[in-house]
A and B are shown apart, each in its own frame.
Chain A
Amino acid sequence: MLEVLHQLAGGFLHVLAPVNFLALVVGLVVGMLVAVLPGLTLVMGVVLALPFTYGMSITPSIILLTAMYVSGTYGGAITSILFRIPGEPMDVPLLWDGFAMARAGQPAQALGWTLFAAMTGGLITATIMVTLAVPFAKVALTFDSPEYFSIVLFGFTSVVALGGGSMANAFISLFFGMLVSTVGVDEIYGVDRFTFGSSMLRDGIGYLPVMVGAYGLGEVLVRLEQGFVSPPLEGDRSIATRLPRFADAWKLRGTFGRASLVGVLCGIVPGAGATIASFVSYGVEGQYGKRRRELGTGIAEGIVAPQVASTASVGGHMVPLLTLGIPGSGATAVILGAFLLHGVQPGPQIFETQSLLVYAIFASVFLGVLGMGLLGYFAIRPLIKVLYLPEAIVSVFVVLFCLIGAYSEHNNLSDLWMIVVFGVIGYLFERWRFPIAPMVLGCILGPVAETSFLTTMISYRNDWTVFFTRPVSAAVMALTALALLYPFYRRFRRRPHDALEPSRAG
């Protein structure tokens, strides 16, 4: 433990270096701006920031994206509470009690509870992340290809199973992403797969055009088809923030505890992002909270439960990303992309080879939470101003960032065509109710799945039972089966309004 604290102290010093600190501040501001704007999701924002990291070294790149991720879980709460406009899907539960409290004449208190909850959730998750990561990595060092394949398979399954909506559509989206990752020259045999004689396709389709096109351009096309209709802002509300007294917060310790647990667990399970954490936490409060009958009338518990959980999910997501190289959400998929673009493969070895980077990321989450608090408290007024920008103008710049970002990776115009193609595919996915997140994860993790599957088949002489005879692999396969069966159980028990589609949120 002392060794961890020592390394963490080094990480703090590293983050305070000027370039890294600047990346942290920029990430916090941009993340909050992105979350405030209803047309721009947190994942889209992280995707659009990715090209700007090409020229940076890896540490500020990851700090920038992680800071965006952290502050993005809070920014959308402001507009939910003040204007009844959820900046992100994860902020929808805040409409029930946060907006109700604001409408009852206590907007400053509602904002104060949200900020306090986000900071508490963030600090708890950062502590758990630091505590869990090293033991996780030590266990992961013993993993071989069957374990990796089963873990990736579990990730795929849970993304689909927990994503809500139609499971068939989510599976098709996932398989489509995996198929896209097979386009190009095969690494083992050097064989062209699905290239149709095109030199553009021989190079393969990177996950960046898929992500940027589907999330960025696709979303803009969806909103353009709706005529860029922004929801009207409800009058002039007070936008001061009044933090709760410690004694009042202490009374809600049970809510804080439950919500933190839900958030971290939802973060660790691949696929259950901040949105699921937020909804589940609100539901848990509705079942076990002391004032559960008053939920929805504007009480603090209804604000604290979803906000703590959504921010707490961030640290949970970072654990499998750093220790196994497996992203559990759209935003962590982009952060994984940033690692890979800089030639670093996250996994158990990273704690040996890049320990300073890892602990700098941990430290940046702690500092990011504190910075988010300061920003949320003092800079709320200018942040809200972005809501008044015409959506048509914001959207055009989103598209341009998508296109130039993709172009800048290889200085190649053919990447722009990929963006356009995947933008249209992203639009069709939205239109036909196919979730995008499984496609993106399939595209990123498809090669990992293929390589670990083929390596297992070669190493174990085509004996597929090895996935079920090795203890860790068998246990993960059992979890995969559970994840597959869970939606059927849920369908059996669910109420009509439970069928939601939160997988876009990350």
Chain B
Amino acid sequence: MLSRYRGLVPYLLVLAVALALAWNTFHFQFTPHGDRPGPDVWPRAILALIIVTCLVRILALLRRPFSSDPVMLKDVLETPSGAGAQTTAPKRYPLLLVTGIGLTIAYVALLSTLGFFIGTALYIATLIRTGRYRRWPVIAVVALGGALAFMFVFMRIVYLSLPIGVPPFAQVSLMLMQLMGIR
């Protein structure tokens, strides 16, 4: 029974966030200038539109719970005869997704500690592996080569100041920078 109403989840979520933000607009601290519209008018109007749209969609789904998903172009398998379209449901691997998001969060969080080179090499290697590519020698070459290439292009050519990390990881970054002639 619950699965029938799974399509409601995004709209309920957006509605809840919109209501909370709408409540927040009543707490903007400002001094009104005559009859000029305040800084709360525009966001409140947008939030009102979001709330109305969500309510309309929720009501529509409650009336017809199975008509929720619009067909997306990439879901459509076209046939040369143009005889019609079929939707295909690709197999999903939620664990890969969670691991990918987790690795990206860890990369951003640890970048200032590990430094760009070590952090990026580790990130490349682990994310490629998470993407079900299994040839370790290729992964190692791509990870080290990729991190070095990024470091060279962005620090030596684009003059971007990438994080070098904290000791002892910083020693690796500094050594590589010296080798590449980056000051």
The yes or no verdict on A and B being binding partners is yes
Residues of chain A at the chain B interface (Cβ within 8 Å): 52, 55, 89, 92, 95-96, 99-100, 103, 164-166, 168-169, 171-172, 175-176, 178-179, 182, 186, 188-189, 191-194, 217, 220-221, 224-229, 275, 295-296, 298, 390-393, 395-397, 399-400, 403-404, 407-408, 411, 413, 416-417, 420, 423-424, 427-428, 432-434, 450, 453-454, 457-458, 461-462, 497, 499-502, 504
Contact in complex: B97, A224 (CB < 8 Å)? yes
Chain A: which residue is nearest B146 at the CB level? A397
State the CA gap A396–B39 with chains docked (Å). Answer: 41
State the CA gap A497–B132 with chains docked (Å). Answer: 34
**Given A189-B39, A400-B146, residue A228 in contact with residue B53 (CB < 8 A):** no
Q: What are the residues of chain B within 8 A of A275 when measuring CB–CB?
A: 73
B2 contacts chain A at the CB level, 8 A cutoff: no
Contact in complex: B128, A193 (CB < 8 Å)? no
B62 contacts chain A at the CB level, 8 A cutoff: no
B131 contacts chain A at the CB level, 8 A cutoff: yes
**Given A171-B49, A396-B127, residue A296 in contact with residue B82 (CB < 8 A):** yes
Contact in complex: B81, A296 (CB < 8 Å)? yes
Contact in complex: A191, B131 (CB < 8 Å)? no
| With A52-B158, A396-B124, A462-B35 already in contact, 12 other A-B pairs whose C-beta atoms are closer than 8 Å | A55-B159, A166-B57, A168-B56, A171-B53, A178-B46, A191-B39, A225-B92, A396-B142, A399-B127, A411-B161, A454-B37, A500-B73
Contact in complex: B131, A391 (CB < 8 Å)? yes
Chain B, range 76-119, C-beta contacts under 8 Å to A: 76, 78, 80-82, 84-85, 90-94, 96-97, 100-101, 104-105, 107-108, 111-112
Please name 20 pairs of A and B residues whose Cβ atoms are closer than 8 Å in the assembled complex, sorted by A.
A165-B71, A168-B57, A169-B70, A171-B53, A176-B14, A179-B50, A189-B38, A191-B29, A191-B30, A194-B21, A224-B96, A226-B92, A226-B93, A227-B91, A227-B131, A390-B128, A392-B128, A407-B162, A458-B36, A500-B73
B1 to chain A, nearest CB (A): 21
A230 to chain B, nearest CB (A): 11
B167 contacts chain A at the CB level, 8 A cutoff: no
Q: What are the residues of chain B within 8 A of A424 when measuring CB–CB?
A: 101
Contact in complex: B72, A433 (CB < 8 Å)? yes
State the CA gap A462–B38 with chains docked (Å). Answer: 12
Contact in complex: B93, A227 (CB < 8 Å)? yes
State the CA gap A228–B130 with chains docked (Å). Answer: 10
State the CA gap A55–B93 with chains docked (Å). Answer: 40
B67 to chain A, nearest CB (A): 10
Contact in complex: A89, B73 (CB < 8 Å)? yes
State the CA gap A390–B35 with chains docked (Å). Answer: 61
**Given A92-B78, A191-B39, A404-B154, residue A172 in contact with residue B100 (CB < 8 A):** no
**Given A89-B73, A172-B14, residue A193 in contact with residue B43 (CB < 8 A):** yes
B133 contacts chain A at the CB level, 8 A cutoff: yes
Contact in complex: A95, B80 (CB < 8 Å)? yes
Chain B: which residue is nearest A177 at the CB level? B46
Which of A165, A192, A393 contacts B70, CB < 8 Å? A165
Chain A: which residue is nearest B96 at the CB level? A224
Q: Which bucket holds chain B's interface residue count? A: 35 or more
Chain B: which residue is nearest A286 at the CB level? B82
B42 contacts chain A at the CB level, 8 A cutoff: yes
Q: What are the residues of chain B within 8 A of A393 when measuring CB–CB?
A: 128, 133, 138, 142
Contact in complex: B43, A194 (CB < 8 Å)? yes
State the CA gap A450–B46 with chains docked (Å). Answer: 10
Chain A: which residue is nearest B124 at the CB level? A396
State the CA gap A166–B40 with chains docked (Å). Answer: 29
State the CA gap A390–B138 with chains docked (Å). Answer: 11
Contact in complex: B46, A416 (CB < 8 Å)? no
State the CA gap A168–B57 with chains docked (Å). Answer: 7
Chain A: which residue is nearest B127 at the CB level? A396
A370 to chain B, nearest CB (A): 29
Contact in complex: B29, A454 (CB < 8 Å)? no
Contact in complex: B150, A176 (CB < 8 Å)? no
Contact in complex: B108, A413 (CB < 8 Å)? yes
Q: What are the residues of chain A within 8 A of B60 when measuring CB–CB?
A: 168
B183 contacts chain A at the CB level, 8 A cutoff: no
Contact in complex: A497, B130 (CB < 8 Å)? no
Q: What are the residues of chain A within 8 A of B65 when measuring CB–CB?
A: none
Q: What are the residues of chain B within 8 A of A434 when measuring CB–CB?
A: 10
B164 contacts chain A at the CB level, 8 A cutoff: no
Contact in complex: B124, A295 (CB < 8 Å)? no
Which of B46, B57, B84, B105 contacts A182, CB < 8 Å? B46
Q: What are the residues of chain B within 8 A of A400 when measuring CB–CB?
A: 120, 123-124, 146, 150
Which of B72, B73, B94, B150 contacts A92, CB < 8 Å? B73
State the CA gap A123–B59 with chains docked (Å). Answer: 49
**Given A295-B82, A501-B73, residue A413 in contact with residue B112 (CB < 8 A):** yes
For the complex of A and B, list the 4 residue pairs with the smallest distance between their C-beta atoms, beginning with the closest.
A392-B131, A165-B70, A186-B39, A501-B72
**Given A175-B49, A191-B30, residue A420 in contact with residue B105 (CB < 8 A):** yes
Contact in complex: A408, B160 (CB < 8 Å)? yes
Contact in complex: B50, A176 (CB < 8 Å)? yes
Contact in complex: B42, A399 (CB < 8 Å)? no
Contact in complex: A89, B80 (CB < 8 Å)? no
B171 contacts chain A at the CB level, 8 A cutoff: no
Contact in complex: B53, A172 (CB < 8 Å)? yes
State the CA gap A63–B112 with chains docked (Å). Answer: 35
Which of A89, A423, A497 contacts B74, CB < 8 Å? A89
B88 to chain A, nearest CB (A): 11
State the CA gap A50–B144 with chains docked (Å). Answer: 25
A247 to chain B, nearest CB (A): 28
Q: What are the residues of chain B within 8 A of A189 when measuring CB–CB?
A: 30-31, 38-39
B54 contacts chain A at the CB level, 8 A cutoff: yes
Which of B80, B104, B133, B146 contacts A390, CB < 8 Å? B133
B26 contacts chain A at the CB level, 8 A cutoff: no
**Given A191-B29, A501-B71, residue A55 in contact with residue B158 (CB < 8 A):** yes
